[in-house]
Each structure stands twice: as structure tokens, then as C-alpha cells.
Copies of this chain bind each other. A is one copy, B any other.
Amino acid sequence: MIPTMHDVARAAGVSIKTVSNVINDFPHVRPSTRMRVLSAIEELGYRPNLSARGLRSGRTGVIGLAVPELRQNYFAELADSVIRAAEKHDLGVLVEQTSGDRDREIAVVTGAGRLRLTDGLLFSPERLGQADRHLIRPTFPFVLLGERIFGGPTDHVTMHNVSSAKAAVDHLLQIGRRRIALIGAHPDQREDVRPADLRVRGYKAALEAAGIPLDPQLIRAVAPWHRENGAEAMRELIASGIPFDGLFALNDTLALGALRALGEAGWQVPGDVAVIGFDDIDEARFSVPSLSSVDPGRDEIAETAVELLVERINEKDGDPLPPLLVKSEFRIVARESTGFGRPG
């Protein structure tokens, strides 16, 4: 049988309350008593029952993280960062995959499913958009990650999509590229707040600031942002015969797919085409050539998100702060694909 506090109390010859005091590091316990209790715990192999504790305290010590899927590098690295950040607050992380499925995303935000065992939720939507922000129940501690939904009733941690995308294109302009293609735009063209839309906006702003006319043929829609689709888009662009000497891929996965297609076609990078991606996933440092990218501050995003969530969890029910929008710092990481040095 699994030992309980009662068993420990009996073994140590004290009351259950004293055991509780020792476990929770309360003051007012005589050292000798404490020792007796600790050795009883050791001896019986006692572990607190976290369900009971959770029932009593209203806290489980676990937060949920809902992402599309971990096989996508960006989300694996995000989950890694989130788990590390949560650890600092002594929180476990229950990971849920939505597989980019709208119904599952709805289930997650409406609090169905398993996530009731958690004290709060970090949610990175892939299908839910601006129009769905009413679905989010502001009653449960909740932090939104990414850029698909703005102005919701909850905290929101995201990146400077427009300005960092502009900086990426500026980087290509600085090294003398003038015909800069973009892959990863959203297939439907309406302006919106999705990452693709925001990054396209940054692209246009950079060109405009440089006085370069926009060539719509250089903007290629790709969805979803998978490697094979990046490769495919690049093959099409090459086949089209439209000249270009720079490429801004809206994420690194697309960029790596594009590198592959460029390689197949015998194009030199950065000689014929300079390439920059977005996300700065680990892999970017080790492709051939290594890939320049935008580091969106993933660790900072994860840490900020967890901190905000913890604050919301600890918030007294009385005085809720208004929803916060935080944007992380970004930086351009120049590597071989735009003519800079060895991996690093």
C-alpha cells in the first residue's frame, strides 16, 4: 500500500499536522521532531499525493501548453523553452497537440478535455483567428502565444512581426539585392493579423522605404509552412523564369525547403540568390549553406508567457489587471545564406 501522511505520523509518533508542517517547510517545528519525521518519510518512501493536495489547495502545479504539433521544429523548441521556464516556477507542463485542427483548438480554449487538470493554459493557435476571439473564456488563466488573434480578453505574448520582417528584407537590401522574392504569403489575400500577413507587410514596407517597386509575381503563397511546400514554391518560381536575387522565406522551414530546391536547380546561395528565413530554429545553423534568419526571441517569449500565466494564476479574484500585450525583442542573425561567416 502507498503510505499516507497518517502512516508517516504514526511511524514518527507525531500528529499528521506536524508531518504537514515539515513537508511544507513551516517554521515552528523542533529540529529533533523534524528529523524524526524526515526519517519516517524516507523509511516509508512517502510521497505526497498531489491529487489530494490539488483538491485542497485548488492548484495542481501543472500548466497546459497547446501547440499544433511538436514535429514542427519551432514548436518543439518553444515547448522546450516553456518547460524550462515553467520549471523555474515549479510547474509541470502538460502538452496537448491540436494538429492544426479547428475543433480541437476550440475544445482547448473552451476548456473541454484534459486541461481541467491544469492551473492555466498557454495556447498557440493555428486555425483560430481574429474572428474567434470571443471563444476565449477569460475566467481561466490563459496566455495566448503568436499572432493569429489580437485584442482578445487575455494576455498575449508575440513578436514584432512587421518590424522584424522589415529588418530581414533590409538585410537583403543592404547586401545589394533588389529583386527579392517572398515565399509563405497566405493564399487568400485579404490583409489580416496572421503572421504571414504581418510579415508580408514588413516586406512591403522595406521595399517601399528603399524605393523599390513591388513586383506581385515575386510574392508566392504557400500553406502550410512545411519544408516540402517551400521546396515546391521555389521550384515553381525558378520554372517561371522571373528573375530574382534575394529570397525572404516567412519561416525557416520554408527557407530550408527552398534551399533544397535551389540546390537541385544548381543555383548558388548566396551567389545567385541570398536567402533569409524567420524563427532561427537550431537547424538554421547547420544547413548547407547555413541559413540567415530572424531570431524572434523564443526563450524570452516562453519566459514572459509563463511569468504572465503565473501572475494570472496568483491573481486574487477581486482585482484582475487588464489584458497585457507583450512583444519580444528580435534580432537578425546573418549567416552564409546572405554571405556571412561560418555557422554560429
Contacts and interface: CB of A to CB of B under 8 A. Distances in A.
Given A69-B80, A94-B94, A60 B227 contact: no
A187 interface: no
Contacts of A69: 80
Interface stretch (A159-167, A199-207, A256-264): A256-264
Interface residues of A, number: 51
Interface in A286-325: 286-288, 290
A95 B83 contact: yes
A92 B114 contact: yes
A112 B231 CA distance: 46
Interface string A90-111: 1011111100000000000001
Contacts of A7: none
Contacts of A76: 70-71, 73, 76, 79
Given A51-B55, A94-B62, A95-B93, A257 B286 contact: yes
A77 interface: yes
A157 to B, nearest CB: 19
Interface stretch (A42-50, A176-184, A241-249, A270-278): A42-50
Contacts of A94: 62, 92-95
B62 A83 contact: no
5 contacts: A50-B114, A54-B54, A70-B80, A79-B79, A260-B288
- The 5 A-B residue pairs with the shortest CB-CB distance, nearest first, are A76-B76, A51-B54, A263-B288, A92-B114, A50-B117
Given A51-B55, A83-B97, 10 more contacts: A50-B60, A61-B117, A70-B76, A70-B79, A71-B76, A79-B79, A83-B96, A84-B97, A256-B286, A287-B287
Interface of A: 47-52, 54-55, 60-62, 69-71, 73, 76-77, 79-80, 83-84, 90, 92-97, 111-112, 114-117, 227-228, 231, 256-257, 259-260, 263-264, 282-283, 285-288, 290, 343
